[in-house]
Structures are given as C-alpha cells and as structure tokens.
Structure 1
Amino acid sequence: MTDPTSELMIKLNRETSKIDWQALQRFYAQGAVLVVAADQDLVATAAAFAEDNTQHIASLLEKGLLQKADEAQAKTWLTEKCEVWAVVVAPWVLVQRERKLAS
C-alpha cells in the first residue's frame, strides 16, 4: 500500500471532492465510473490505479470491493440526488458513496 504521506497520496487527496452524481452521468454513460466499496480507502484505491498496481486492483475486483457502476445503482443515486466522493485517475472516475456515521 502507498505511504499516506507520499506525494502521490497527497496529490490525490487534494483532487478528491464531493460531487453530485448527476454531474457524473456523462462519465457513467462512457463506462468510466468505478465504485469503491464504503469500507475501502478511496484515495489509496486511486493510488493503486496511478501506480498501475494490477495485483491490488484485481484483488479488489475479485472481492467485489471495486466494480463498474451499474444501471440500478446509477438510477437510485440519480433519484436520491446523491453526492459521492470522487477522484479521477484517467481514464477512470473512482467514486464512493459518502459514509453515514452511526449516531
């Protein structure tokens, strides 16, 4: 895993922001949106892409912790006017639904 204080992690963290799911529809239609599971670190996952860590990415895909956004999810998020955390690692847009904290 990438050191959280590395230049790459700091850069990706700065490039990560909340965005309305609706604003990502063009990228979803192109098949370029990957959903990162809520229990995974979005920035660390983006770093794996930037570093071309195919073994880690394959492991996430195999475990279902990373997947292409599907139609049902996209429709639900659009209906709910959902905000997601997003970071771009071309050609991909990695997104993660905001975690709800237990009260």
Structure 2
Amino acid sequence: MSEEFPDAQDPEMLRQKLALETAPIAWRELERFHARGVVVQAAETLDLVEVGYQLTQDNKSQVEQWMQAGELGSVTDADARDWHASNREVWALVIAPWVLIQKDKPA
C-alpha cells in the first residue's frame, strides 16, 4: 500500500480523495513539468479521477490499453505552445511523479 495514498485499500474512499485533489490550473504553471516529461494528457472521454486511481493501483494493463488507444499520453510540443499562447487552463491531478491533465472539465 502506498504511503501517499493511505486509503488504497478502500477504492471508493481513494477515488473521493482524488476527486477532491482535481482542480483547474493555468497551463503556464505546468510548463516546467512538461519540460521534465512528467505531464500526461488524458482524453476528454476518460474520467480523470479513474485514470489517477488506476495509476495509484499500478494497473499497467489498463494504462497501456489507454495509451495504445491514444487516450493517454504525452502533451505534444505544438499543443504546449498553443496552450501557452492562449493562456489555456486545464484540469490537473497530481499522481507523483506524474501530473495528469485534461483540456476540459472531467465528467
């Protein structure tokens, strides 16, 4: 069980905790994390909290499935430039060492 996620044995409690930690943030605040390669973008069709939960559970098969489907992956440099220029706000959830983001409010 992860020390950072002490409620990992109670899936619903952990999901609620993650939901409370999801918040909007200006892309410019995340650029240094993008430069380090730790920002992961989830498609708008995914539930950001569920993605975070699966990462905390080290569910590699689900994460790989999302990646292969193009629903989870790195932010392109072109998107990063566009978001900087437009002062874009994204939704974010930190699952150390990763910063999960979505362009639109999670469902």
Please say whether Structure 1 and Structure 2 have the same fold, judged by a TM-score greater than 0.5: yes
Q: What is the TM-score of this pair, normalised by structure 2?
A: 0.86
User: What letter is aligned with 1:52?
Assistant: D
| In 2: Cα distance, 1:43 partner to 1:80 partner | 26
Alignment match, 1:62: 68
Q: What is the TM-score of this pair, normalised by structure 1?
A: 0.89
**Count of aligned positions:** 95
| In 1: Cα distance, 2:104 partner to 2:86 partner | 13
Alignment match, 1:53: 59
1:34 aligns with 2:40: yes
Structure 1 residues 17-55: Cα deviation after superposition (integer angstroms, max 9, x where no partner): 000000001100100000000111111001010110101
| In 1: Cα distance, 2:103 partner to 2:76 partner | 14
| In 2: Cα distance, 1:80 partner to 1:48 partner | 31
Which stretches of structure 1, 4 residues or longer, exceed 4 Å deviation after superposition?
Answer: none
| In 1: Cα distance, 2:57 partner to 2:72 partner | 16
Show structure 1 runs of 5+ residues with no match.
none
User: What letter is aligned with 1:13?
Assistant: A
Alignment match, 2:4: none
| In 2: Cα distance, 1:20 partner to 1:77 partner | 9
Coordinate RMSD, CA, aligned: 1.0
Percent sequence identity is 37
Which residues in structure 2 correspond to 1:1-103 (within 5 Å)?
A: 6-98=12-104
